[in-house]
Structures are given as structure tokens and as C-alpha cells.
Amino acid sequence: MNLKIKKGVPLIDQHDKNFMYGGKFGGNFIPETLKKPIDDLTKLFSKLRKDKKFLKDRDFYFKNYIGAPTPFIKLEKLTDYLGGAQIYAKVVSEANGGAHKIYNATVHCLIAKKAGKKFIVGDTGAGYAGKMLSMAAKKFGLKCKIFMGAKDIKRQRPNVEAMRKNGAEIVPVTTGSQTLVDAVSECMRYWVANCDTTHMCVGSTVGPNIFVKICAWSTAQISRELMIQVKDEFGKIPKKIKLLNCVGGGSSAMGFWNEFMDTDAEFIGIEAGGPKNSKLHAAPLTNGSKIGILHGSAQYVIQDSEGQIGRTESISAGLDYPGISSLHCFLKDTKRAKYTCASDEEALKAYQLVSKFENISPSLEPSHAFAEAIKLAPKLKSSEIIIVNSCGDSLKDKDIIKQKLGSYVR
């Protein structure tokens, strides 16, 4: 069967009655206890996204609290150095809190308020989703609990400190690999036991369908801004334009691409290839992983032949996830987006190069996307445009970078 994307219909709504994209990705593979809370949330969200007052509130906070629009800049020196395509960056790391996770966190807090919930819980890998949720929870007067793998707590210290400062309780997850995958599981388990009083925010476009939807709907702000900025810069959408974005769960890429879905813009998603000489990676799309079920959703996922979820490895905690959004699986199978990966080493080099030449310093997640831009640009004509979503700042990675490169320069 040839899968196709429908034009003029938001991608998040292109599912069937079982909430599956292309009949095989997504859905709600959840315990019975979560059926009702998820049904309730699904109904509430479909009402709210048509509610003018709610949209006004959202836009108010996006503008005045998160800070819209985030800058769109040309990376002149990097472009000159590489020769070839013109390289631009959408500096989403300028958003309040320093990453795109603030959009999803803010929307979830607004929804939690509407649902009359006083508690909010969330998972985090790199610590951004947790940091933003703790920030937004504080802003909206919700009590916040964050689940984070014990390994990630160690390697993402600055964000952990920020969460504590915001008054969130951090629950270290010591099961399994002690990274994002376990944090999401533990957070879902907590929600199973507390869904009557507590709202859950899944930190990326993963999990049961409604969380995929809410997250992608929230981060879409990035491409709404970018669309205007691109038209301002070029007068129209250029013919040859590539939008490069790292993908772990896939939330920033969905937001970065959403408004360009029906245009000629080319989408390239960059997964985490892991250490150069390691068999471990976090790139299910690049490496042809099979479809399986993880965290309530059918998706391409790293697993063994029995269906046990596989171990992953990446220098970037935010991409260190064995699965990938059902929306990206759909984009891959419809050939609307292409996916590749960058190794830990390539990401580090990209971080170094961009930080050296430009006024921005991408975190290790978008550095994966910059690595692809650096590979690609010299092969392209100067009339072609590459835009990279610089969706996080390197400051949170200073410990890792220091350890790997000997020093940290921003």
C-alpha cells in the first residue's frame, strides 16, 4: 500500500478511528485504567483547540512568556567557511528556558488548569522537558513532579538544578538503562496510579496519540514563526530549501516542519548515531528498526526479535530514546521526510565549529543536525538554502563537552 499525506489537513489529524497514522503507527496501547483519562483529555483538547479564548491565551503566553518570535539568522561565517548552500538557523534556544520544550510545557499547563488538575507530572531526558515543565508549572501554580533517569540526572546537572530551583520534585528512575525510556515508563506508571488528580505531560511527540497531538500542535509555533521569517527574508518560500532538525522523540522537528508540510521544502531528520565504533545507537529510522509498541504507541523502535526494547547510546540525552514519534514514522513511509544520523563525534565537531564561527552555541541535540548541514552544504549550490533548528543551547552540556574535548567554549 502506498501511504500518502493528505494536503490541507493537519498532519496530527490524519489518523483513523483507532488513532493510527497510515493504519500502522500510533494508536493507544494503554492499560484500561488510562482509557478514560485519555478519552477525557482527547475530548478536552479537541474542544480547546477550537476555543478562541484558549487560543488567545496560548498566543499571549507564547508571545509574552516564551518570547515570540525566536530569531531567524544567517550563519554568514559558517556559510563562507563551508562554501555552497546558504546556512541559516532558527534560534529556538532563545525561547524562555532555552529550548522548544517550553511550548509543549506551557500548553500542557494551560490544559491542566482547564481540566481542574492541581498536579502535573512529566518525563525528561536532557532535562529540558523537565526544566520547562517545572518553569511553566510554577508560573501557572501547579505542583510538579519530574521523572528522570538516574544516568541523565548525573549528565545533565545544570537542568536538574534549574528544576529544583523551580520547586519541582525530581524522581530519579533507577530501573533499566536509567535514561529517557525508563523515565517515560515510570512517569506513565505514576499516572496510572494518580490519573484522578494529576495531569501528565509527555515530553515529546511520543506516547498515546493525544500526547503526540498536543505536543506537535504546541511546537508548531516554531514553523508558524519561521514561515513569516522565511517570506520576509526571501520574499517567498525559496524553491530549494532544506529544513534540518535533530530527532529523538521528534517534537522539535514536528514543530519546525509543520507549516511547511504542503510546500516544496525538503525535510531532513537527523537521529543520534551513537559513538562511532559502537553497535549501539538511537536511530531507529536510519537503521531500519521494525515496528513495535513502546509507551502506548506503535512505531519504529529499537528492539530484539522477541520484542524486548533495545538499549541505546548517544552523547545527547535528549536523543537517547529507542523509539520515535509515530508522526515521523508516517513521514518516513510516505517519503515526505528523509532521515539520517550523525555520530557522537560528528555532533561534537559540529558544536565546536558552529560555536567557533557564530554567536550561537547549539547543544548536543541540534549539533547532530548541524553535523548534517556541514556535510551537505559544500555539495550544494549557493542558491540553495539550509535552515537548521537550533533548538537547544550548549550550556546544559558543558560537563560532557569539557570531559570529551578538554574545555568548554561557548
Summarize as ranges the residues that interact with other proteins (CB under 8 A): 18, 27-37, 175-176, 181, 185, 188-189, 192-196, 290-296, 298, 303, 305-309
Enter the C-alpha cell of residue 1.
500500500
Sign of CA dihedral 37, 39, 42, 48: negative
The helix/strand/coil state of 270 is strand
CB of 36 to other proteins, least distance (A): 4
Q: Is 317 left (phi over 0), alpha (psi -120 to 50) or beta?
A: alpha
CB of 25 to other proteins, least distance (A): 13
Of the two residues 27 and 366, which places its CB atom closer to other proteins in the complex? 27
Q: How far apart are CA 45 and CA 255, in angstroms?
A: 18
Least distance from other proteins to the Cβ atom of residue 39, Å: 9
The nearer residue to other proteins, 264 or 304, going by C-beta atoms, is 304
CA distance 154 to 397: 11
| Closer residue to other proteins (CB): 308 or 407 | 308
Q: Specify the pairing of strand 86-90 against strand 119-124.
A: unpaired
- Residue 59: CB minimum distance to other proteins, A: 33
Give the nearer residue to other proteins in terms of CB position, either 269 or 292: 292
Helices (H) and strands (E) in the chain, counts: 15, 14
Q: How far apart are CB 29 and other proteins at their closest, in Å?
A: 4
| Distance of closest approach, residue 268 Cβ to other proteins, in angstroms | 29
| CB nearer to other proteins: pick between 167 and 307 | 307
**Smallest separation, CB 352 to other proteins (Å):** 35
How would you classify the pairing of strands 266-272 and 337-342? parallel
213 vs 242 by CB, closer to other proteins = 213
**Angle value at C-alpha 336, between 334 and 339, nearest 5 degrees:** 100
- All three cell numbers of 371: 553535523
Residue 326 host element (H or E): helix 326-333
How far is Cα 280 from Cα 310, in angstroms, rounded to an integer? 9
Rounded to a whole number of angstroms, the minimum distance from the CB of residue 26 to other proteins is 12
Cell numbers 488513532: residue:
19
Per DSSP (E only), the strands in 284-354 are 291-294, 297-300, 337-342
Chain CA centroid to CA 306, Å: 28
Nearer to other proteins, 194 or 352 (CB): 194
Q: Which is nearer to other proteins, 153 or 188 (CB)?
A: 188
